[in-house]
Structure 1
Amino acid sequence: MRNHTPVPTRAVQATAAASAVVVALTLTACSSPAAATPGIDDETVKVGTHQPLTGPAAAGFSSISAATSAYFEYVNAQGGIHGRTIEYVVKDDGYNPANTQSVVRELVQEDEVFAILNGLGTPTHSSVLDYLGQNGVPDLFVASGSTTWNQPEEYPSTFGFNADYVVEGAALAQYAADQKPGAVVCVLGQDDDFGETFLQGVELALGSDGVATYQTYSTSNEDVTAQIGAMKEAGCEINLLATINGFTAMALGTAAQMGWFPQWYASSSGGDYPTLVGFLGEDVGPKLLEGFVSANYLPNSPGGDWYELFQRINDEYNDGAPFDGNTVYGMSVGYLFAEALAKAGEDPTRETLVEAVESGELVGNGILPLTFGADDHAAYDGVGIAVVSGGVQDFVGATYRVDGESVSAVEAEPVPLENDGIPAP
């Protein structure tokens, strides 16, 4: 006779079901919050970025992400943050918004990153802003000074990193007015939000009639002869530049070919001395750049503690790549992310990461305090002025802060190096 398996009674079935629920709840309770969050587990946190490794902005900015990666390797070698190592996935968008959309979707949907970090460029990052917001991906420390990133109500998970272009334009213009009252001031800007908001800052300091001419360029046209010719014709004595590094060099080189040598003041996005010498050449670069003025908010003083730490990290973890302002920038971004991750807790989620940035407790490593808060997603409201003298680019003690509609001189408040540059939990 065939043996039959007994059919469970309803009571037994109910008991089994209840037990299964208890087991499931117990497993859920024992799981860390990170286990349910994309890009993070008990050992690793994965973040991603879009960068111009090729294209018109590559020569000026492609080294930034390598510097950030080198800093993360340094942190990982010291045990990571809360025991987790940081994996940085870098994808090339060629400074093309269409490419940016493709690679960011890959980062979010295929690589499943925890956050996007330091996506570079105003036109490029603007193309993915809504997508990241709709998908709840923390969008941290955008590599652009556009005021677009500082809209907490519309983009609650997006934060800028650069001092915004209004701040830089106002600071450079005020410095020009302080140094040479009555000089004829002109502006050359990129034909997008970069140039437009920079001009707003300049006019904040000088008034709406304070600019003799405003010329624009497109990154798709590597010729600024007409623009420089118009500025020379207007009698410009001080030219303020809202330009990326390649076009800064192009402006100076074109003017020199015309036999015209005005003073040049540049945004931090296009004012790195070693990078500009690389464009202009060792023979003429140092000569054309003597007295060159730029804005900055990071610890870019040769001999400073942060500067020396980043040099050591560069030598050990970045294959001894050339050390310049982009290196300091990339490692400063890495430090700020590591600090935010440490503040987000032992089991961070995307929500606690955003809360950590908004808490106002992040310090960073700038020459002025960070301004992040629940109602302010901009990193810095002021910059220092650096001048090239004898082949060395360094701060000259002039620092400006923008508060609403006013720009004023202030004292720098550089953040001291602590704990060998590893954020404390």
Structure 2
Amino acid sequence: MSFVARLLAAFSTALILFAATVSNAIGQKKYDTGASDTEIKIGNIMPYSGPLSAYGVIGMTEAAYFRKINTEGGINGRKINFISYDDSFSPPKTVEQARKLLESDEVLLIFQSMGTLTNAAIQKYLNTRKVPQLFVSSGAVRWNDPQNFPWTMGWQPNFRDEARIYAKYILKENPDARIGILYQYDDLGRDYLKGLKDGLGEKAATLIVAEESYDVSEPTIDSHVVRLWSLKADVFLDITTPKFAAQAIKKAAEIGWKPLHILSNVSSSVGVVMKPAGNEASQGIISSTYVKDPTDPQWKDDPGLKAWSEFLDGYYRDANRADPGVVYGYSVAQTLVHVLKACGDDLTRDNVMKHAANIRDLELDGLLPGIKVNTSATDFAPISQLQMMRFKGDTWERFGDIIDSDGRD
């Protein structure tokens, strides 16, 4: 064989070896702690006990949905190992459970942990460790800060923008309002408060007659409601979580106070808040939504809620089907499954965040028609649309158009 022929043969062999190497590299599976050929470990922290235990249903729904996914073969052949702990809505306990999930259970990511104060307590820790804190169950603005916290992402519309929508509504319906505000003394309440004042603009100083804050450790908020009534407020902005929302509605009815009552959408559950507070006392209350109300007859033949109902039949028979938290948990679990499927065989934490920040017009069974999930590398707010609703009879009636959560129609 001539020298040229030998050289060409050697070159051809090198090309074949190079191509094989590149092919292997492209097809190679990549894992971080918490992922393998057979499973994906997902960590979660919920207030299954304590003042916000009503939200525990969200974690139970998510666990049930992941059981469904596993029964159907998992995600790209891998089963989800969903590890969920109770923190009683106590930030120190949240920190303890987060460390346990990372350092003992060795999860791939923390998903959908509940609460503003509680997630704030672990945000820096998770970002320092470069662990996804994905689809936080809170509407605080701080979850949409990819520049400073690139490993944290929210899911639902944020509280500040929701309050701007309420401000717009108040200015239209009662431009000379006397506004009394009851808010939870944490980031949840402060975000709503800022959003309302931003929305009212210069009129905030004259329209707001009182701001009453409460702590979740208080057994009752009756005295705060009475004070707002005594100041002759004719608009009641009720920024409370479910237990306290029911109390506020009851107390307002007891003292004969009938303001324009606007309730934060985190407490709009018919089964958990409105019915316990009393249907008569709840009439006319205003709120907003982005998920379908399973008690609303208009969704009787809706394909999305039919799929949700079939899921409950098979995996969560004890669920309270009147609780929108069950629709919420189902929908956000679907979002995570979408992201993990998109990751393919690259189940690194970096790739999870990459795909979480690249969701395009995702439609979910439980979201209102026209509301879609969208994210980007500079926008960590997956849902940014709402629709107003009014409580009438024994259910919510939606009105008006879908509104972008920054207040633009």
Say yes or no: TM over 0.5: yes
Taking structure 2 as the reference length, the TM-score comes to: 0.86
- Structure 1 residue aligned with 2:377: 374
CA distance in 1 between counterparts of 2:399 and 2:82 reads 35
- Structure 1 residue aligned with 2:117: 123
Indicate conservation of the 8 Å contact 1:44/1:86, yes or no.
Answer: yes
- Structure 1 residue aligned with 2:45: 50
Indicate conservation of the 8 Å contact 1:300/1:394, yes or no.
Answer: no
1:301-332 Cα offsets, whole Å, 9 max, x none, are: 63133233222212220133211111011111
The alpha-carbon deviation at position 402 of structure 1 amounts to 3.9
Structure 1 ranges of 4+ moved more than 6 A: 28-31
Aligned pair partner of 1:175 in 163, 169, 178: 169
- Structure 1 residue aligned with 2:325: 326
Q: Secondary structure at the match of 2:73?
A: coil
- Structure 2 residue aligned with 1:10: none
CA distance in 1 between counterparts of 2:376 and 2:170 reads 31
CA distance in 2 between counterparts of 1:256 and 1:45 reads 49
The alpha-carbon deviation at position 44 of structure 1 amounts to 1.5
Q: Secondary structure at the match of 2:213?
A: strand
Aligned pair partner of 1:383 in 376, 382, 386: 386
Aligned pair partner of 2:128 in 134, 138, 148: 134
- Structure 2 residue aligned with 1:3: none
The equivalences for 1:95-244 within 5 A come to 95-207=89-201, 208-209=204-205, 210-244=207-241
- Structure 2 residue aligned with 1:255: 252
Indicate conservation of the 8 Å contact 2:46/2:86, yes or no.
Answer: yes
Indicate conservation of the 8 Å contact 2:222/2:247, yes or no.
Answer: no
- C-alpha change, 1:400 and 1:186, in structure 2 (3 Å) is farther
Aligned amino acid, residue 154 of structure 1: N
CA distance in 1 between counterparts of 2:42 and 2:289 reads 26
The equivalences for 1:386-405 within 5 A come to 386-403=389-406
- C-alpha change, 1:200 and 1:231, in structure 2 (3 Å) is same
The CA RMSD measured in Å over matched residues stands at 2.2
Indicate conservation of the 8 Å contact 1:42/1:84, yes or no.
Answer: yes
- Structure 2 residue aligned with 1:84: 78
Aligned pair partner of 1:71 in 65, 74, 81: 65
1:248-292 Cα offsets, whole Å, 9 max, x none, are: 111112222223232321122122121114643xxxx11111222
- C-alpha change, 1:270 and 1:330, in structure 2 (3 Å) is same
Aligned amino acid, residue 266 of structure 2: S
Indicate conservation of the 8 Å contact 1:140/1:158, yes or no.
Answer: yes
Aligned amino acid, residue 131 of structure 2: V
- Structure 1 residue aligned with 2:311: 313
Aligned pair partner of 1:289 in 282, 287, 290: 282
Aligned amino acid, residue 307 of structure 2: L
Indicate conservation of the 8 Å contact 1:167/1:382, yes or no.
Answer: no
Identity of aligned residues (%): 26
Question: 1:264 and 2:261 equivalent?
Answer: yes
Aligned amino acid, residue 315 of structure 1: D
CA distance in 2 between counterparts of 1:272 and 1:51 reads 18
Q: Secondary structure at the match of 1:230?
A: helix
Consecutive unaligned residues of structure 2, counting only runs of 5 or more, are 1-20
- C-alpha change, 1:360 and 1:277, in structure 2 (3 Å) is closer
Aligned amino acid, residue 296 of structure 1: T
Q: Secondary structure at the match of 2:288?
A: strand
CA distance in 1 between counterparts of 2:347 and 2:124 reads 24
Q: Secondary structure at the match of 1:173?
A: helix
- C-alpha change, 1:166 and 1:371, in structure 2 (3 Å) is farther
Aligned amino acid, residue 49 of structure 1: N
Q: Secondary structure at the match of 1:254?
A: helix
- Structure 1 residue aligned with 2:56: 62
The alpha-carbon deviation at position 364 of structure 1 amounts to 4.6
- Structure 2 residue aligned with 1:274: 271
1:231-262 Cα offsets, whole Å, 9 max, x none, are: 11222222122211111111112222223232
- Structure 2 residue aligned with 1:408: 408
Aligned pair partner of 1:38 in 24, 33, 37: 33
Taking structure 1 as the reference length, the TM-score comes to: 0.83
Mean Cα displacement is larger for which, 262-271 or 117-126?
Answer: 262-271
1:167-225 Cα offsets, whole Å, 9 max, x none, are: 11111222233344433322211011111110111122222323222211100112223
Mean Cα displacement is larger for which, 214-223 or 255-264?
Answer: 255-264
Aligned amino acid, residue 33 of structure 2: P
CA distance in 1 between counterparts of 2:113 and 2:228 reads 33
- How many residues align? The count is 375
The alpha-carbon deviation at position 31 of structure 1 amounts to 9.4
CA distance in 2 between counterparts of 1:202 and 1:305 reads 36
1:321-370 Cα offsets, whole Å, 9 max, x none, are: 21111101111110000011112223322111100011243615234233
- Structure 1 residue aligned with 2:4: none
Indicate conservation of the 8 Å contact 2:386/2:405, yes or no.
Answer: no
Indicate conservation of the 8 Å contact 1:336/1:364, yes or no.
Answer: no
Aligned amino acid, residue 288 of structure 2: A
Mean Cα displacement is larger for which, 376-385 or 110-119?
Answer: 376-385
